[in-house]
Amino acid sequence: MIPIVAIIAACLISLGVTAAMRRYALSRQLLDVPNERSSHTISTPRGGGVGIVAAMGGLALTLPWLGSTSVSLALIFGVCGGFVAALGFLDDLGHVPAGWRLLGHFAAATAAVWLAGGLPEVVVFGYLLPLGWIGHVLAVFIVVWMLNLFNFMDGIDGLAGVEAALSGAIGGLLIVAFAGMRHEAFWLFAVAAAAVGFLKWNWPPAKIFMGDAGSGFLGFIFGIAPILAARIAPALFWVMLIIPGVFVVDATVTLVRRLLRGLRPHVAHRSHAYQYASRIYAGHRAVTIVCGLLTACWCGPLAWCVASGRLDGALAVLVTYTPLIGLALIHKAGAPELQGR
């Protein structure tokens, strides 16, 4: 009963805090003002992702005392995730140099991976690979990359919120279906519920943007999720990499193509596939809906095939990502931006 109430509470807290944050941002003129690198055309309050962070932080503070989650998970989501969110919020208010942000991300990721117990053996094409300390280092880089790619992908109305809601819900359902109701599943359901509360204010046309506090926090959660899931069952490691495939592919293809052209990765731009698509199709809503459908109808079923043992995890990642890479390239991910386009 407590987990159900907590999940509902996560949605309501996120809904209320986001509304309060919108009023605060308007009163303090914390606005995202459109420029040549923006995907929006009107000044909009930012920092709404604080609602998601507040909801998850509240659960992290209370649920261990009720015996509804482990202390280590509460520390991962409450302390490590909260630290990432705080860095993002400071950047929303002013500016935190990219180097210091990245150092903080690695510190939070390292602490979270240690609290999770590190990355255990991974099954690759049917072979069990005991990675040892290399696996732990790989896990830290997975968390840091997911953390940053959510930030990169939070560029049009509703997109990051929809991806978080679907990834959390699908991931939680697959853990429950094949491993039982575990604490890890509860946390995924909770973040999905918090994302739904936030979406009330962020659905196109957005009344408030997520900001770095929320996008970094969500990226952190979905970065640590594969490591936590792998400790339940090796196949679930791949499941948690497959579900957010739309985000992983667009962000990675864009970054690689920009790096190959000698561009700095942290400089703002509008060359993600979803950004080109929002200009091609003249709006955010259609792109957000299509990305959500790809997650639910393409990534979700393939993740289910892996969780149920019908498909090898590493092979399923290739199967999932390959057409998504094609879509990203068709929509010019990482291509040079032309003036006015």
Query: Where do the domains of the chain lie?
Result: 2-330
Contact present, 286 and 159 (Cβ < 8 Å): no
What pTM was computed for the model?
0.93
pLDDT in tens, the chain (341 residues): 568 899 999 999 999 999 999 999 898 878 876 655 555 567 789 889 999 999 999 999 998 887 778 899 999 999 999 999 999 999 888 788 889 999 999 999 999 999 999 999 888 988 888 888 899 999 999 999 999 999 999 989 999 999 999 999 999 999 999 998 899 999 999 999 999 999 999 999 999 999 999 999 999 999 999 999 999 999 999 999 999 999 999 999 999 999 999 888 878 788 999 999 998 887 899 999 999 999 999 999 999 999 999 999 999 999 999 999 999 999 999 998 764 44
* Helix pair 50-62, 183-202: axis angle to 10 deg: 150
Residue 212 annotated as binding?
Answer: yes
Q: Which amino acid is at 30?
A: L
Contact present, 341 and 278 (Cβ < 8 Å): no
Residue 151 annotated as binding?
Answer: yes
Pair of tokens at residue 20: 């309060």
Q: How far is CA 30 from CA 24, 191, 240, 303, 330, in A?
A: 8, 25, 34, 39, 36
Distance CA(147)–CA(205), nearest Å, equals 25
